[in-house]
Structure 1
């Protein structure tokens, strides 16, 4: 595929046709076309939220006649199933919880650049149900049901603004722009075809260049 902003000469089109190469010309949309086909906004905003759990506490008990324990944990503490088989580390569970849809959506929708810390609590399934979690108590040696996991730590919120340009390749409308997100150069490309199908992709490169930062 060949693309050009200024178009192709008849000779170039003939060569492309001979070799089966598709050609597209990137056309600027006029103001009327922008209002008709694209959102009136000329910017795209991207919010990124980064959280770092620095303290994880686990509440255990309520199933064995003993008082509940509040355990300050380490990342390599192990979790167990009801039969005593090893399930995995607490670090793995915390990573899964923070990557789940609900906390990610909640943070994205509600976090602002004023927030400096986060707190997340999760209640595991109850004893006797699939997914119940246990930690091993050493003295005396026994499994204790995990009833709550609490994660706290610093967070950072960054909002990147992509100032968009708009054009058209054939019958596909294209919007594109650059921004710096979390110190990296980012390129956003949004398309909409003749059926109304929309696709947005954002590509991150390395550390922001001086030119991008300016």
Structure 2
């Protein structure tokens, strides 16, 4: 799916009240479209598939959303209180959708894992074998940058299915997003070739792309793990190497 056009003209209050979903503005599980948003970006920031957003919101044109429009970003009937969702848009400040803090992850059991994050048993692996170029930074870098040569294999870090494969998200180049469960997504950016399609199931360790430098200054893989839409440090979920 390509980038979704957003109408950015000012929206007077009287007109805004007639936009789709206006009656749900400010409610948990809903998001009000801002200038510069695309449906793909909104979906990624909330840990969802853009196709699910289309379905949940009965969007007749998946390529057009409007500033001020209110979108459902959690499944109908979902218990938002239990999810403890915190949404942090790419390059923006955090927007708390549900302020209830998430439960602390259980302490690791000796000999069972080298990671410090609770990954729901997914057992993430490194998606590329190159050297680490840049680590996670909550402000400057929402994931890890891994070096390599053009054409090097990019691997699925865990079992999942493809919820996005394309170049419609600015700053990410040729991008793949995998959804692993209702909690975790992973993203793989700047590829020179994408080897999987949307809705395709993939297995941990499967080659899903070839490393490249689309929308980047050098050949590298930018890799993100998102927990309920919020970028987290992948190093806490990956094995030592």
Same-fold status (TM-score > 0.5)? no
Normalised by the length of structure 1, the TM-score is: 0.20
Normalised by the length of structure 2, the TM-score is: 0.18
Instruction: Considering fraction of residues, name the structure with more strand.
Output: 1
Structure with bigger gyration radius: 1
Instruction: Considering fraction of residues, name the structure with more helix.
Output: 1
